[in-house]
Structure 1
Amino acid sequence: MTDLPRAHSARGSDEPSLTAGESAVPPASDRPDEPRRPGEPERSPGASSPADLDAAITRATQVFGTPDATTSADERKDASASPPAHENPASTSTPEISSHETSSRETSSPATPSTESPSPETSSAAASTGTPRRPSKRSPSAPGRGRRVRDAILVGLAGLIVSGAFLWVPSVWYDEAATVTSATRSFGQLWQMVQSVDAVHAAYYSLMHLWFDLVGYSPLTLRLPSAICIGLASGFIVWLGGRLVTHRIAVVAGILFFLMPRVAWMGTEGRSFALTTLIAITLTLVLVYAVRSRRRVWPWVAYVILAVGGVAIFAYLALLLAAHGVTMVWWALTRLRGKARAANTARVFGSFLVAAGIAAAGALPLVLAIRAQAKQVSWIAPISDATRGQIFTTQFFTENPVLAWIGWPLGAIGVLILAWGGWVRFRSPAKPGGIAGGGLTLLQVAVPWLVVPLSGLVVASEIFSPLYSPRYLAFTAPALALLMAVPIVAVLRKKWQIAIAVTVIAAVAAPSIVAQRLPEAKDNSAWSQVADLIARERAAETVGTKDAVIFGPVRRHPTATSRVIEVAYPDAFAGMTDINLDTPGALRGTLWESIHPLSERLDVANEADVIYLITSNKRDWRGGVAARLAPLGFSITEQWKLTGVNVLRFERVTTDDGDAPTRGAPPEDYVDPSLTTPPTDPFGMPTPLPGEPGSTSAPTVPAPTPAP
């Protein structure tokens, strides 16, 4: 019988992918010193065989084995319908090997090719068709499903531990107080509020409302969902990476992800950033499965649901849909060789366009409602020279430039390695395109994920209005983590070397992660200290003392008062009379309350025994309040200066005969005499200091900037 030429299946060479320690030696039939077999096409000395290309691909991108994903049945059919030019069409009909043979091949040592001889049945079948056995779906080094699941769970638990460590310690700050005040009101009140403000967070507030109904509110329960989301996201990155590259790269990427300072910050933040990042990873994972499933509908349905829900949670996630569009165009352009493959590519690409179009239509009403409230982001600074520093450091490596100089170069090297491997494979006539058997590649997924949202925000900020804030692109951190892992695994190779590299990165990231767990880590907020102080002072008072409180301005937020501290720590203020309160925000359909001028509430103040004033150390109400309360017989008995906050305790002073004096004077030891002039502004408070909102004087201090 005449020997047929060596056949290649749609998955490539019959030889298993090389792993670490193997040499790329061409098969014996491909060596130049051996004669050409009958029927084998003649090759020029400079021609590259498919085995040579496989070896180059292995060295460039898959030094530890092939991706965990397997080729779909549809893809194998497509490949068999359009065999390579050098393959005999009759040789595409190959009997399947037994499950015992598959298992024994998959469990062989990664460093030593399997020497097991085929069974007699398989040998006879191969001889009758002139075709060798079909190779295993996974390379010998690819881990089993159980190990992949186990590693994803372990990395996820590690991410949860790092994110959840001491998350109750940092003081609640303004943005988190907005979550609390919104999520603790009724759904009717919440709906009324989002008609005028914070529609962008309506879905997240609704979820947090359900969460608080279940577990109650505290700073711990406020942030716990975010820590859980980071843990899940870390595990999902391992699973996503395993679909695109090798399992070892995926595991390293999951660890690098939760070590990023921006990610660690998300895990302790009672906002939607961690949930948005988890949705972004899940949405990308669904896209990868949808591309490989070919003719199945359910992945595209899941994609639409996740996309609409993700945009509802955070509108900026719509930029990920644009990134996925670039990914799909890139993927389609690499798969246009061959009629059968082109038809399947067009079918998959059309399915994506339909799914993305439905998702965009479903999210459009919310986007329009958010656009009507664009004044909420008026605090964002225009694009400037400082933006480069925000992109390089703040966006992923908050306040850690050393780690930024490690992370970005690693990501760039990862792109180069993947680009070279993708180019080599694209040139192979025996490959259907794509490192993962015709599916999406890490390069096609990660680069648009990282670049498109950033570019879109920067361009929109230049053309329309400022929209870029480093924390708004936190959902792109997984893409950089995956790219950073590629050179670590590809260059170092050995497990102990990789462990040392990851440990070094963890050591560099540790100071930032620890700093995020300090009491005043969030915007220098000392609200928890204020609440502890009030609770401690009230506990030392005589039983039956009538306490009242005046909430003055709060730093950096001219539309709110320090009543946000009561929102964040309600137990400390339980039972106290809020002297200035007019209508709570929940009743007026706004985020914050309306207040009365103190001059109109002196009768309420006169009923109290002790009055606490909590005011900003910049827009300082101490002098004006002291002047208003002095005629009622109140004098300052104690004063505390905390970070950004002044707290004063006023107590009614009695004369020797037991009667309250007609007028009391605040001690000059506690109040700056320049602030004791009677209030003249419409709220009955002292005029703002120079440089503060509402002041006509030139600023004497730098204007505050929003938190990163």
Structure 2
Amino acid sequence: MTTAVDLPSPVASPPARPPRRLQAGRLYWLWPALTAAVVTGYQLQRPQLWRDELATLSAAGRSPGALSRLSENIDAVLVPYYWVLHFWTAVAGDSARALRLPSVLAVAATAALLAVLGARLFTVRAGVLAGLLFAVIPSVTRYGQEARPYALAGLASTAATLMLVEALRHGGRWRWMSYALAVLSLGGLHLVALTLLTGHAAVVVRHAVHTRSWRPFPPAALAVTVACAALIPLALNGRAQLTTQLGAKPHPPTPEGVLHILEQISLSTSVGGLLLGLCLLGLADRRARVGALTIVLPIAAMVTVSTMSPIWHPRYLFFVLPLICLLAGVALARTPWPAGLALVLVVGMLGLPDQRFFRGSHEKRTAELVDYRAAARVVARERQPGDAIVYKRDGWQFADIAVEYYLGADTPRDALAAQSRDEAGGYWTPERADVATALAGDTRVWALIPDNVTTGASSALSPPVLTALQRDFTVSRTWRVSGFDIQLFVRR
């Protein structure tokens, strides 16, 4: 979070330096960074890849040409992130740990920058406690252990806010260029996170009023204009694909949902309630009141846009969580160090049940685990040379991507594949219409049927596939694992 209330003008006296033992030379920002890295990195590989991460896995592993074809059909707004993962996995591999490590590093860097931002605007104590608070919140673990762009967008949000503060305080071409680059990164990683600019605009206006100087307006406007202009192609492609990815019907939050927004962003009822209380206490510091708009205005903008477009989801607001923690850190800094650290520990303890859940599953709390690993183990244990496999893949479960990932070269032949996903430019493999002909030479066929992604209820193969199997094959064995029905058909 930023504040322009007391941002000094170039002729103002410099702020008092923190005690020597807490100055930058003592690396005060390192403690929040290490805490975030340890908390988020613990059991990093334990939650298995879920459907969104399987999409990341599929996209990141494609050739540049295949990735370009994918962006023409779906996930255009995520292509900058996919390019990051494309180069990363070429070096680090595609294990769950490797796929998620950029997100871990992002939340660690966010905690560090949050400490620096707090020290710039308030005190070192406020910054350090804000960074430590951020590190122990359940949603930081959830998105820090996910191969998706939300953690990186949180880093870009914090960096952009810090760059804005530095540019307003000290001016200079390079600082404004750094701010423009941070805004560009923010939009490239998560386009809707550009709603943060509504809060930044309020900070710039308040700074101009406070200093009675409108000089920052031209460079601020130029930086934002250049960054947003570069993002126009991304936004247009994303707009064209909006219905495909999110549906056509807007689904704005209910008034009750808005009131409990901190619970939804933190992914914890108890932690969200405590955060709300700390933020309200933080507003007692008049320097924080304008900065609070960097939280309120982006949320208000998201709510407003969601009445016209289906973009609402609490995880899309993760980028404001560092700023929420900074406001809470201002409140914590009003206590002595031991008391502030004890309160951070209390938040961490309150979030332990949520932390435990997210280290076991990335699914919704009310949803059954879709156990891709267990399904792949069944096939690996019982398969024979020459086996074929068919999938129900008209939903978003990506069972074929998961099985190919876990079994590799031992994956049974995809009997109905008419074209590869890379060639088709999507996540769904086009299937042959002549099912009986496709299965003519097979004696054993596996059927992998994930539950309905919306209802969680058992599903079934498509009628043409089921009809062909029932006519020429008999069910030899069936298995049920969490989220999947598995059947082995043997030719009559």
TM-score in terms of structure 2 length: 0.89
Residue 450 of structure 2 corresponds to which residue in structure 1?
616
Contact 1:450-1:476 within 8 A present in 2 as well:
yes
Q: Which whole-Å deviations, capped at 9, do the CAs of 1:670-706 have from their partners, x for residues lacking one?
A: xxxxxxxxxxxxxxxxxxxxxxxxxxxxxxxxxxxxx
Matched, 1:564 2:398: no
Cα distance in 1, alignment partners of residues 234 and 228 from structure 2: 10
Local SS of the residue matching 2:329: helix
Residue 486 of structure 2 corresponds to which residue in structure 1?
647
Q: CA deviation at 1:245?
A: 0.9
Q: Which whole-Å deviations, capped at 9, do the CAs of 1:625-660 have from their partners, x for residues lacking one?
A: 66533554x4333211122210112335xxxxxxxx
Matched, 1:401 2:269: yes
Residue 448 of structure 1 corresponds to which residue in structure 2?
293
The code of the aligned residue for 1:619 comes to S
Contact 2:391-2:461 within 8 A present in 1 as well:
no
Match of 1:525 among 370, 390, 397: 370
Matched, 1:629 2:465: no
Matched, 1:381 2:226: no
Q: CA deviation at 1:623?
A: 9.2
- 1:238-249 → structure 2 map (5 Å cutoff): 238-249=115-126
Cα distance in 2, alignment partners of residues 620 and 386 from structure 1: 37
Residue 23 of structure 2 corresponds to which residue in structure 1?
144
Question: Cα–Cα, structure 1 residues 532 and 152, in superposed 2: closer, same or farther, change >3 Å?
Answer: farther
Residue 509 of structure 1 corresponds to which residue in structure 2?
351
The code of the aligned residue for 1:471 comes to R
Local SS of the residue matching 1:404: helix
Cα distance in 2, alignment partners of residues 289 and 410 from structure 1: 26
The code of the aligned residue for 2:386 comes to K
Q: CA deviation at 1:317?
A: 2.3
Cα distance in 1, alignment partners of residues 151 and 25 from structure 2: 27
What value does the CA root-mean-square deviation take over the aligned residues? 2.7
Local SS of the residue matching 2:489: strand
Question: Cα–Cα, structure 1 residues 609 and 164, in superposed 2: closer, same or farther, change >3 Å?
Answer: farther
Matched, 1:282 2:218: no
Residue 602 of structure 1 corresponds to which residue in structure 2?
436
Residue 488 of structure 1 corresponds to which residue in structure 2?
332
Cα distance in 2, alignment partners of residues 307 and 257 from structure 1: 22
Contact 2:448-2:484 within 8 A present in 1 as well:
yes
Q: CA deviation at 1:452?
A: 1.4
Contact 2:107-2:151 within 8 A present in 1 as well:
yes
The code of the aligned residue for 2:402 comes to I
Question: Cα–Cα, structure 1 residues 384 and 481, in superposed 2: closer, same or farther, change >3 Å?
Answer: same
Cα distance in 1, alignment partners of residues 46 and 65 from structure 2: 32
Matched, 1:410 2:278: yes
Cα distance in 1, alignment partners of residues 87 and 230 from structure 2: 24
Q: CA deviation at 1:466?
A: 3.0
Contact 2:450-2:485 within 8 A present in 1 as well:
yes
Match of 1:367 among 221, 235, 257: 235
- 1:129-278 → structure 2 map (5 Å cutoff): 137-138=16-17, 140=19, 143-147=22-26, 149=27, 151-278=28-155
Contact 2:137-2:347 within 8 A present in 1 as well:
no
Cα distance in 2, alignment partners of residues 591 and 75 from structure 1: 57
- The percentage of aligned residue pairs carrying the same residue is 26
Please say which structure displays the higher CA radius of gyration: 1
Cα distance in 2, alignment partners of residues 501 and 308 from structure 1: 36
Matched, 1:551 2:391: yes
Q: How many residues align?
A: 477
Local SS of the residue matching 2:441: coil
Question: Cα–Cα, structure 1 residues 461 and 153, in superposed 2: closer, same or farther, change >3 Å?
Answer: same
Cα distance in 1, alignment partners of residues 209 and 277 from structure 2: 28
Local SS of the residue matching 1:619: coil
Q: CA deviation at 1:233?
A: 0.9
Local SS of the residue matching 1:158: helix
Cα distance in 2, alignment partners of residues 145 and 383 from structure 1: 42
Contact 2:449-2:461 within 8 A present in 1 as well:
yes
Q: Which whole-Å deviations, capped at 9, do the CAs of 1:501-537 have from their partners, x for residues lacking one?
A: 2211111011111110115646632112212222233
Residue 350 of structure 1 corresponds to which residue in structure 2?
218
Local SS of the residue matching 2:29: helix
Residue 297 of structure 1 corresponds to which residue in structure 2?
173
The code of the aligned residue for 1:450 comes to I
Matched, 1:587 2:429: no
Contact 1:156-1:231 within 8 A present in 2 as well:
yes
Cα distance in 1, alignment partners of residues 57 and 161 from structure 2: 31
Local SS of the residue matching 1:515: helix
Local SS of the residue matching 1:317: helix
Question: Cα–Cα, structure 1 residues 220 and 407, in superposed 2: closer, same or farther, change >3 Å?
Answer: same
Question: Cα–Cα, structure 1 residues 137 and 392, in superposed 2: closer, same or farther, change >3 Å?
Answer: closer
Question: Cα–Cα, structure 1 residues 225 and 547, in superposed 2: closer, same or farther, change >3 Å?
Answer: same
Local SS of the residue matching 1:583: coil
Residue 697 of structure 1 corresponds to which residue in structure 2?
none
- 1:119-138 → structure 2 map (5 Å cutoff): 137-138=16-17
Consecutive unaligned residues in structure 2, runs of 5 or more = 452-457
The code of the aligned residue for 2:410 comes to A
Cα distance in 1, alignment partners of residues 259 and 446 from structure 2: 42
Q: Which whole-Å deviations, capped at 9, do the CAs of 1:287-320 have from their partners, x for residues lacking one?
A: 11111213x2100111112212321221112212
Q: Which whole-Å deviations, capped at 9, do the CAs of 1:317-356 have from their partners, x for residues lacking one?
A: 22122221111112212222xxxxxxxx322233212222
The code of the aligned residue for 1:418 comes to D
The code of the aligned residue for 1:512 comes to D
The code of the aligned residue for 1:614 comes to L
Q: Which whole-Å deviations, capped at 9, do the CAs of 1:422-458 have from their partners, x for residues lacking one?
A: 4xxxxxxxxxxxxxxxxxxx443x4122111110111
The structure in which a higher percent of residues are helix is 2
Local SS of the residue matching 2:390: strand
Match of 1:466 among 310, 317, 336: 310
Cα distance in 1, alignment partners of residues 255 and 387 from structure 2: 50
The code of the aligned residue for 1:391 comes to I
TM-score in terms of structure 1 length: 0.63
Q: CA deviation at 1:585?
A: 2.2
Cα distance in 2, alignment partners of residues 612 and 193 from structure 1: 28
Q: Which whole-Å deviations, capped at 9, do the CAs of 1:67-112 have from their partners, x for residues lacking one?
A: 9x9x78x425xx7xxxxxxxxxxxxxxxxxxxxxxxxxxxxxxxxx
The code of the aligned residue for 1:469 comes to H
The code of the aligned residue for 1:75 comes to V
Question: Cα–Cα, structure 1 residues 139 and 528, in superposed 2: closer, same or farther, change >3 Å?
Answer: closer
Question: Cα–Cα, structure 1 residues 140 and 562, in superposed 2: closer, same or farther, change >3 Å?
Answer: closer
The code of the aligned residue for 1:546 comes to G
Cα distance in 2, alignment partners of residues 260 and 203 from structure 1: 27
Contact 2:478-2:487 within 8 A present in 1 as well:
yes
